[in-house]
Structure 1
Amino acid sequence: MAQHSSKKVIFAALAGNAMIAVTKFAAAAFTGSSAMFSEGIHSTVDTGNQALLLYGLKRASRPADERHPFGYGSEIYFWAFVVAILIFAVGAGVSFYEGVHKLQDPHPVSDAYVNYIVLAFAMVFEGAAWWVAYRAFKQGKGKLGYLKAIQASKDPSIFTVLLEDSAAMAGLVVAFVGILLAQILGIPELDGAASMVIGVILAMAAVLLAYETKGLLIGEGAQPALVRQLRGIVQDHDAVFHINELLTLHQGPQDLLVTVSVDFHPHLSADEVEAAIADLELSMKRADGVVRRVFVEAQSWRAHRAAVRHADI
C-alpha cells in the first residue's frame, strides 16, 4: 500500500514536469529569457529524477537472494541520493551558470507575455503534482512538524518529490518576478539574477535531500514510538526476565530488521524458551507491518554485559 502511494506521487510529478519542460525550453528560445531557460533545465532534471525514483522502487522490490539475503529494499535510498546529486550538479549548477552568463551579456527579454503564459500553465501542472505529494506526505507525518517528519521518514520517494515540487513552485515565482521586473524596469540583468536565485533554491533543496538520504544509506533505526512499542511487547511477555538490548535497522521504507537479546526466566525449559521466542517474533511482526525480520537471542544479562565490555576494549 505504501509503495502504491509512492508510485502515485512520482507518476503525478513525472506527468507534470514532462508536460511543461518542452514548453519552457520553447519559450526560452523564443524570448531569450535566462530564467525561463533555467526553469526548462529544472523541469528536465525533475523528470529524469522521477524516472530514477521509479527505477529505484522497481529495483528495491526484488526478492531476497543468496547474494543479498536481506533483500534490495535499501536500493531506493541509493537512487534518492543520486537524485540529490543531480539536482545540485545539473539543476542548480546550470541555472547558476546561465544566470552568470546573462549578467555578463545582458539582453532584453522579447515577447515576455509568452513567458507569463507558460509560467501560468507551469504553476497549474506543478501545483497539481505538489498537492498529490503534499497529501501523501501529510497523511504519513502524523503530528510531527514538516522538517521533523522529513527527518523521521523512511520513504525518500515521497519527500524527494515534495522537496522537488516545492523548489519548482518557488522557482516559478522567482522566474515570474525576475522577468516582470526586468521588463518593467528595463534592467535585463534582473532576468539573470532570477536564474541565479533559482540555482540557489535548487542547491538548498539538494543539500537537504542529500543529508536525509545519507542517513538512510548509512542505516537508521525505527522511529522512537515504534521502538518503545516493540520493547513493551518483549518486556510484558511472561517468559522474559530482562531485555538486554533491542536494536532496529531499516533495510527499506517497509522493511525493518529487529534484533533482541533477552534474558528469559531461569526456570523455563528449552521448549518453553523456543515457544516464547516464536511468540515474540509473531507479536512484533503483527505490531507494525514494516517489521519483516526478527531475531531473538537468549542470553543472560550478565553474559550480555560481559560481551559488551569485551567489545568496548
Structure 2
Amino acid sequence: MSDATPRSADGSGKDPDPDAKTAVTVLVALAANLVIAVAKAVGGVFAGSPALLSEAAHSVADSLNEVFLLASLKRSKKAPDDQHPFGYGKERYFWSLLAAVGIFVMGGCFSVFQGFEALHTGSSEDHSGYLVGLAVLGVALLAEGSSLVRALVQVRGHAREAGHGTLAELRRGDDPTLRTVLAEDSTACLGVLFAIAGMWLHMVTGNAAYEAAASFLIGALLGYVAYRLAMESRGRLIGEAIDPVQRHELRVFLDEQPEIDTVTSLLTMRLGNDSTLVAARIDLVPGLDSEEVERVLVRVKAAMARAWPYADQIFLDVTDASAGDRARAHRDRKALEEVVAARSEDAEGDRDG
C-alpha cells in the first residue's frame, strides 16, 4: 500500500501553517515600500527626474498591492457557509489578481506616461538634483533588497520542506501571496537599477532620453510581471488541478486498494492553499454487497484524508467501467507517470544546480 505519511498542500511531509510568516513578509515589504515611495516622490520632484517618479509610482503600486495581499490572507481563512460551502480559499487568488492589475495600472502605465513626458518636454537636473536622486535610489535598492532576501528565505524554506530545489519552488509554489511579494521585490530591485542607469547616463550626457528609456523599461517590466501574475491567478480562479506529482500519488493509492478494480477518472481542483477537491470514479471488484461498499468508501476516504490533509473535499463515485473506460484510465495513468518522471528529472537538475 502507498505511503500514508501526512502531506501538506505543497506535497511535503509536513503540514505547516505558513500564513504567519507570509504576513510578516508582506508587512516588511509594505513598510519598505511606503518609506521608499515617499523618498522617491520627494526626490523625483526635487530632481525633476522622470525615472525616479516612475519608481515612486512603482512603490506606491506595490504598497497598495501589499494591502490587497494582507486582505487575502485574512479573508481566505473564513469558514464555509451556506453560500460558499467549499470555503473562501480562492479569495487569495482574487486579491492576487487585483494586485497584478494594480501593478499594471498604477505602476506600468504611469511609468510609460513618464517616459513620454520626458521625451516630449525634456528634463534637466542640476548637480545636486542628480546626487539627491541617486542617493534615494541607492537607499531604495538596499531596502528593496532586504525585503527580497526575506521573501527568498521563506521560499527556500518551502522548497526544503517540499523536498525540491528553490527554482522548482519558484516555478510551482502554491502560495500566490508569497509569489506576488517575491515578484514585486524582484522587479523593484531591477527597476531601481534601470532608474540608476538612466539617471547616471542623463547626468553624463545631458540627454533626457536615457531617463525616458529607463521609464519605458520599468513600465515594460511591470507590465510583464503583472501579466504573469494575472495568468497564474486566473488559472487558480477558474479551477486548476493540483500538481501532477500529487495527482499521481492519489491515483496510485486508489489503484492499490484491494477493493478497487479500476480508477476510471480522477479529478482535482484547488479550492485554496490548504483545501482541495478530489473526485474519483471507481469500479469496485465484483461480489461486494451494499454494506461492504459503504465500509470500503468510508475507509478509503478516511485514509486519503489522513495521508493528504489538504484533500478536505473527497467524493468517490462507484461506477461500472466499460472496456473503453479501462483503456482510457490506462492511458491517463501512463501520461501522468510520464509527467511525473519529467518533473523528477527537473527536480534532480535543480538540486544538482
Q: How does the TM-score come out when normalised to structure 1?
A: 0.92
- State the 1:194 CA deviation: 1.2
Q: Distance in 1 between matches of 2:179 and 2:310?
A: 18
- State the 1:196 CA deviation: 1.5
Whether the 8 Å CA contact 1:233–1:283 is kept in 2: the answer is: no
Q: Equivalent of 1:174, from 194, 200, 223?
A: 194
- State the 1:274 CA deviation: 1.6
Q: Equivalent of 2:137, from 119, 122, 128?
A: 119
Size of the aligned set, in residue pairs, is 306
SS of match in other structure, 2:250: helix
Q: Which string of whole-angstrom CA distances, capped at 9 and with x for unpartnered residues, describes residues 32-82 of structure 1? A: 111111111100100000100111221111110001111111111111111
Q: Distance in 2 between matches of 1:201 and 1:237?
A: 50
Same amino acid, percent of matched pairs: 32
Q: Distance in 1 between matches of 2:295 and 2:35?
A: 58
Alignment correspondent of 1:190: 210
Q: Distance in 2 between matches of 1:10 and 1:145?
A: 20
SS of match in other structure, 2:322: helix
- State the 1:215 CA deviation: 0.9
Alignment correspondent of 1:152: 172
SS of match in other structure, 1:69: coil
Q: Distance in 2 between matches of 1:91 and 1:269?
A: 64
SS of match in other structure, 2:313: strand
- State the 1:286 CA deviation: 2.1
- State the 1:145 CA deviation: 7.1
Alignment correspondent of 2:219: 199
Q: Distance in 2 between matches of 1:287 and 1:17?
A: 41
Q: Equivalent of 2:78, from 62, 70, 77?
A: 62
Q: Distance in 2 between matches of 1:144 and 1:273?
A: 42
Q: Equivalent of 1:258, from 275, 278, 281?
A: 278
Unpaired segments ≥5 residues, structure 1: 309-313
Q: Distance in 1 between matches of 2:293 and 2:23?
A: 43
Amino acid at match of 1:114: V
1:291 matched to 2:291? The reply is no
Q: Would the alpha carbon gap of residues 8 and 303 (structure 1) be closer, same or farther in structure 2, given more than 3 Å must change? A: farther
Q: Would the alpha carbon gap of residues 90 and 158 (structure 1) be closer, same or farther in structure 2, given more than 3 Å must change? A: same
Alignment correspondent of 2:18: 2
- State the 1:5 CA deviation: 3.1
Could you list the runs of 4 or more consecutive aligned residues of structure 1 that deviate by over 4 angstroms after TM superposition?
A: 148-151, 303-306
Alignment correspondent of 1:311: none
- State the 1:150 CA deviation: 4.9
1:46 matched to 2:62? The reply is yes
- State the 1:282 CA deviation: 1.8
1:93 matched to 2:109? The reply is yes
Q: Which string of whole-angstrom CA distances, capped at 9 and with x for unpartnered residues, describes residues 104-147 of structure 1? A: 1112123211112211111111111111212222333453674x
CA RMSD of aligned residues (A): 2.0
Q: Would the alpha carbon gap of residues 153 and 304 (structure 1) be closer, same or farther in structure 2, given more than 3 Å must change? A: farther
Q: Distance in 1 between matches of 2:254 and 2:24?
A: 37
Q: Distance in 2 between matches of 1:210 and 1:149?
A: 19
Q: Which region of structure 1 is more displaced relative to structure 2, 178-187 or 294-303?
A: 294-303
- State the 1:189 CA deviation: 2.4
Alignment correspondent of 1:132: 150
- State the 1:221 CA deviation: 0.7
Alignment correspondent of 1:29: 45
SS of match in other structure, 1:291: coil
Amino acid at match of 1:66: D
Whether the 8 Å CA contact 2:155–2:166 is kept in 1: the answer is: no
Whether the 8 Å CA contact 1:250–1:257 is kept in 2: the answer is: yes
Amino acid at match of 1:214: R
Q: Which region of structure 1 is more displaced relative to structure 2, 286-295 or 176-185?
A: 286-295
Map 1:277-288 → 2, pairs under 5 A: 277-288=297-308
Unpaired segments ≥5 residues, structure 2: 1-16, 329-353
Q: Which string of whole-angstrom CA distances, capped at 9 and with x for unpartnered residues, describes residues 85-112 of structure 1? A: 1111221000110111011111212321
Alignment correspondent of 2:124: 108
SS of match in other structure, 1:38: helix
- State the 1:267 CA deviation: 1.6
